[in-house]
Structure 1
Amino acid sequence: MKVSIITVVFNGAEFVRDCIESVLSQTYTDIEYIIVDGKSTDGTVAIVQSYGTRIARFISEPDKGLYDAMNKGIQLATGDVIGLLNADDFYRHDRVIENMVATFERTDSDAVYGDMLYVDRTDTKKLKRYWRSGWYSENAFLWGWMPGHLSFFAKRWMYLQYGLFRLDMKSAADYELMLRFIHKHKAKLAYMDEVTIVMRVGGISNSSLQNRLRANREDQLAWQLNDLKPYMFTFWLKPLRKIKQYITKPPEVHIK
């Protein structure tokens, strides 16, 4: 099973090397690593190029934002499975892809997902948040559930058949895509009950009331665009579920 891993980056010289090393150090060998750069000016390009042919595909050109860059990577991918890893983030250990492929093969699933840790941007030993996705049950999206996006690996045929990220969405494009794949098209899921991704805090935040209200509107739009009918309380259960992520402690894990 060939796995395509896509990293999108723009001016990420500070941390992109950690991200790249976490992919290249994986024990699973059939990996196609694709990096899509948004025409960085801070030395990112030189760092990526220093890895030579260990990076299967590398493009550096202006884009229309994060999800446009992800779409470019997906369109370049030739693997059976596609995973996304942002330039600030890294895999928790060197067997993540090996374990993910084994889960696909054992369960014959369309998509596999796991858990994520959020850590301090500079001190990655300092835990900020633990996203335990948990086991999926049918219609869980109605109750505010969703898996962590970067822990989500999907068969490439799903992108070809059901489409890429919508560029008319902003912070909720990942939510809309997983809602479409999982809730609307009934993808067969398998859960990896382990932390797979370590994310540095940062990026688009829904912590303020204004941002949360905007995200709430985008969540509603995601359901409308897919001709799906949520419960009245669906959009408020989603942020409420996140509260638990700040108080729940993960099992003892070693962060590389």
Structure 2
Amino acid sequence: MRVSIITVVFNGAEHVRDCIESILNQTYSDIEYIIVDGKSTDGTVDIVRSYGTKIAQFVSEPDKGLYDAMNKGIQMATGEVIGLLNADDFYRHNRVIENMVATFERTDSDAVYGDMIYVDRSDTQKLTRYWRSGWYTENAFLWGWMPGHLSFFAKRWLYEQYGVFRLDMKSAADYELMLRFIHKNKAKLTYMDEVTIVMRAGGISNSSLKNRIRANKEDRVAWELNGLTPYFFTLWLKPLRKLSQYITKPPALNSKVTKG
């Protein structure tokens, strides 16, 4: 089973090497690694090119943002399974892809997902948040549930049949895509009960009231675009679920986070 991993990056020279190494050091051998760069000017391109043919496909050109770059990568992918890993982030250990493929083969699922941890941007041993996705049950989206996007590996046919990221959704494009795949079109899911992704804290934040209200509006549009109706409390349960992520500790927290 070939797995296509897509990294999108723009001026990510500070951390992109950690991301690349975490993929190249995976124990699973049949990985097609695709990097889509938004015409970086900080040395990112030179770093990527230094890996030569270890990067299966590389493009550096202007894009319309994060999700446009992801869509480019998806269109380039030839693997049966597609995963996404942003340039600031890395896999928790070198068996993530091996474990994921074994899960697909054991369960014949359409998509597989796991857990994520967020760490300090400078000190990756300093935990800031633990996203435990937990097992999926039917209609869980109505109760504010969603898996961590970067922990989500999907069969390529899902993108081919149900579409890629909507560029008009801004920060809610990942939520809308998973709502479309899972809740609307009933993709068969399996949960990997382990931390698979390490994310550096930062990026688009919904921590302020203004950002949360904006995100709530985008989430509501995601349901409307798919002809779906949430409960009156669904879109407020979604951010409330995140509160426990700042309190709960992941298993084996004391073991060192590896970046390759």
Superposition TM-score, scaled by structure 2 size: 0.98
Q: Which residue of 1 aligns with 2:238?
A: 238
Q: Give the secondary structure class of the aligned counterpart of 2:34.
A: strand
* Structure 2: distance between partners of 1:77 and 1:251: 33
Percent identity of the aligned residues? 84
Partner of 1:29: 29
Q: How does 1:60-75 map to 2 (within 5 A)?
A: 60-75=60-75
Aligned length: 256
Determine whether 1:85 maps to 2:79.
Answer: no
Q: Deviation per CA, 1:147-175: give whole Å up to 9, x if none.
A: 00000000000000000000001110000
TM-superposed deviation, 1:136: 0.2
Instruction: Find out whether 1:116 has 2:116 as its counterpart.
Output: yes
Alignment partner, residue 57 of structure 2 = 57
2:192 is aligned to 192
Residues 1:215 and 2:205 aligned together? no
CA distance in 2, matches of 1:87, 1:226: 30
Cα distance between partner residues in 1 of 2:52 and 2:250: 37
Q: Map 1:102-181 onto structure 2 (within 5 A).
A: 102-181=102-181
Secondary structure of the corresponding residue to residue 238 of structure 1: helix
CA-to-aligned-CA distance 1:67-105 (integer Å, 9 cap, x gap): 000000000000000000000000000000000000000
Q: Take 2:251 and 2:51, find their aligned partners in 1: how far apart are those partners?
A: 34
CA–CA distance in 2 between the matches of 1:133 and 1:235? 17
How far is the alpha carbon of 1:232 from its aligned partner?
0.2
Q: Distance in 1 between matches of 2:39 and 2:122?
A: 24
CA distance in 2, matches of 1:248, 1:217: 28
Tell me, in whole angstroms, the C-alpha distance in 2 between the residues paired with 1:50 and 1:226. Answer: 43
Give the drift of 1:252: 1.2
Give distance in 2, aligned partners of 1:10 and 1:197: 20
In structure 2, runs of 5+ residues without a counterpart are: none
The secondary structure found in structure 1 opposite 2:83 is strand
Normalised TM-score (structure 1) = 1.00
Letter of the 1:232 counterpart: F
SS in 2 for 1:227: coil
Q: How far 1:31 sits from its partner (Å)? A: 0.1
Q: State the secondary structure of the residue aligned to 1:165.
A: coil
The structure 1 segments of at least 4 consecutive aligned residues displaced by more than 3 Å after TM superposition are: none
SS in structure 2 opposite 1:248?
coil
Paired residue type of 1:201: A
5+ residue gaps, structure 1, are none
- For residues 89-142 of structure 1, the C-alpha deviation after alignment (integer angstroms, 9 at most, x for no partner) is 000000000000000000000000000000000100000000000000000000
Q: Which residue of 1 aligns with 2:5?
A: 5
Whole-angstrom distance in 2 between the partners of 1:122 and 1:101: 31
Distance in 1 (alpha carbons) for counterparts of 2:244 and 2:237: 12
Distance between the aligned counterparts of 1:202 and 1:130, measured in 2? Answer: 14
